[in-house]
């Protein structure tokens, strides 16, 4: 049976950081939005618990989820379900880590961690990465490829455990000269996949069949970048429209999208770590 990979994004839009390149910087959610986000996540978790197919989940909140107890609870609970192969979250790693990680299944829980220079120190960030490693938890680490981040990126790569992959996201609206591309490729050998948008119109993409995007109200879309809904998760209506179809967008420029393009070899490159962005070459499971 194939695995259904789900990218989940609830209403949460607040963040404890103030990154100058982000529309969610220091945004606060009113209490009613936080309550709605928690209820939506608990509903989603219940749906996954009852599902009858192999599932992997990546939480992709607009803001920061790991500082909220309900995301930590969902990560632990989902990691312990037999039919869930992986549960991961995109995070700035600012949240408290000790005390709850030990309750999760370390073979299933994973983290997609972003270092934001100016918002925390490299020491604090690396200490959080060390905590993940100490718990035997898979994680990738990365940075936005802005020119002013390059020195920090080199230091991050140098001080990180060599077994941990360090990715670089091409900065939105920024074009890279050949020399700049080479400089960033020294940090992330796979930067070439991020630096140029992938032409995707009419291309075969696994989203809609083996991967879907789910919003807090259960709206199912093939991916975060194609707004047309397939149906709803909770009434099962999306299943009637589940299936392969070509991409309707001109380009796909975000890893969480283009990793699923069948025209790229990324299911092989990231085998075993597709959702949390860990290349097979960096996976502790390789060779098993
Ligand atoms: S940590 Fe992420 S969500 Fe928060 S402000 Fe920075 S980029 Fe935005
Ligand atoms: S190629 Fe990208 S934009 Fe197109 S359907 Fe796939 S994930 Fe979505």
Distance 85 CA to ligand 1 centre (A): 27
64: Cβ below 6 Å to ligand 1? yes
* Cα(195)–Cα(181) distance, integer angstroms: 8
Cα–ligand 1 centroid distance for 22 (angstroms):
6
* Whole-angstrom distance, CA of residue 51 vs CA of residue 177: 47
User: Is 119 part of a structural domain of the chain?
Assistant: yes
| Residue 144 tokens, joined | 């936005």
- DSSP code at position 220: E
Quote the number of domains for the chain: 1
**pLDDT tens-digit profile of 18-67?**
999 998 888 999 999 999 999 999 999 999 999 999 999 999 999 999 99
Note whether residue 133 is domain-resident: yes
SS3 236: coil
Task: Indicate whether 74 pLDDT > 90.
Answer: yes
Round to whole Å and give the CA distance between 145 and 152.
10
Long-range contacts of 31-37 (CB under 8 A, 24+ apart): 34/68, 36/10, 36/11, 36/216, 37/10, 37/11, 37/12, 37/68, 37/70, 37/216
Q: Give the model confidence (pLDDT) of 200-231 as tens digits.
A: 999 999 999 999 999 999 999 999 999 999 99
pLDDT tens for 132-152 read: 999 999 999 999 999 999 999
Is a pLDDT exceeding 70 seen at residue 85? yes
pLDDT > 70: percent of the chain = 98
Q: Which ligand is nearest to the CA of 244?
A: 2
124 within domain boundaries = yes
Residues 204, 271: Cα–Cα separation, whole Å: 19
Q: Do 243 and 103 form a contact (C-beta atoms < 8 A)?
A: no
Ligand with smallest separation from the Cα of 27: 1
Would you say residue 7 lies in a domain?
Answer: no
pLDDT band at 16 (very low <50, low <70, confident <90, very high): very high
- Whether 125 is in the pocket of ligand 1, judged by its Cβ within 6 Å, is no
Ligand 1 and 278: CB distance under 6 A: no
Q: Say how many Å lie between the first and final Cα of the chain, rounded.
A: 21
Where does the pLDDT of residue 286 fall: very low under 50, low under 70, confident under 90, or very high at 90 and above?
Answer: very low
3-state secondary structure of 155: helix
Alpha-carbon distances, residue 115 vs 19, 119, 139, 237 (angstroms): 11, 9, 13, 39
- Cβ pair 138, 278 in contact under 8 A: yes
Closest CA to 251 of 202, 284, 216, 183: 202
What phi and psi values does residue 229 have, to the nearest 5 degrees? -75, 150
In a domain, 123, yes or no: yes
- Distance separating alpha carbons of residues 110 and 91, to the nearest angstrom: 11
Q: Is the CB of 92 under 6 A from ligand 1?
A: yes
The structure's pTM equals 0.96
- Give a yes or no: residue 175 inside a domain: yes
Q: What is the pLDDT of residue 283?
A: 80
Classify residue 59 as left (phi > 0), alpha (psi -120 to 50) or beta: beta
Give the domain extent around 144. 115-197
Tell me what the mean pLDDT of segment 73-93 comes to: 98
Distance CA 286, CA 253 (A): 28
Residue with tokens 């309550």: 35
- DSSP reduced 3-state for 204: strand
Q: Which of 109, 110, 40, 43 is nearest to 81 (CA)?
A: 109
Residue 155, in any domain of the structure: yes
Asked, for residue 193, whether it belongs to a domain, the answer is: yes
- Ligand closest to the CA atom of residue 261: 2
């Amino acid at each position: 049976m194939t695995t259904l990979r789900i990218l989940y994004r609830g209403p949460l839009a607040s963040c404890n950081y103030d990154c100058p390149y982000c529309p969610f910087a220091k945004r606060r959610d009113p209490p009613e939005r936080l309550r709605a986000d928690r209820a939506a996540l608990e509903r989603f978790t219940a749906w996954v618990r009852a599902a009858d197919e192999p599932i992997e989940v990546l939480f992709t909140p607009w803001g920061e989820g790991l500082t909220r107890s309900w995301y930590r609870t969902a990560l632990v609970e989902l990691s312990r379900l037999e039919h869930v192969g992986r549960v991961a979250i995109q995070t700035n790693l600012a949240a408290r880590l000790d005390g709850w990680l030990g309750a999760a299944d370390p073979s299933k829980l994973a983290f997609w961690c972003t270092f934001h220079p100016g918002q925390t120190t490299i020491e604090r960030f690396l200490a959080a990465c060390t905590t993940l490693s100490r718990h035997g938890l898979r994680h990738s680490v990365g940075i936005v490829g802005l020119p002013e981040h390059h020195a920090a990126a080199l230091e991050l790569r140098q001080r990180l455990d060599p077994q941990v992959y360090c990715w670089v996201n091409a900065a939105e609206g920024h074009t890279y000269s050949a020399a700049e591309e080479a400089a960033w490729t020294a940090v992330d050998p796979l930067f070439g996949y991020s630096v140029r948008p992938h032409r995707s119109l009419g291309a075969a993409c696994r989203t809609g069949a083996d991967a879907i995007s789910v919003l807090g109200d259960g709206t199912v879309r093939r991916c975060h970048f194609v707004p047309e809904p397939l149906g709803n998760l909770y009434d099962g209506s999306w299943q009637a429209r589940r299936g392969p179809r070509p991409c309707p967008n001109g380009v796909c420029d975000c890893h969480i999208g283009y990793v699923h393009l069948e025209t790229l070899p990324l299911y092989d490159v990231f085998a075993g770590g597709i959702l949390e962005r860990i290349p097979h070459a960096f996976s502790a499971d390789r060779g098993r």
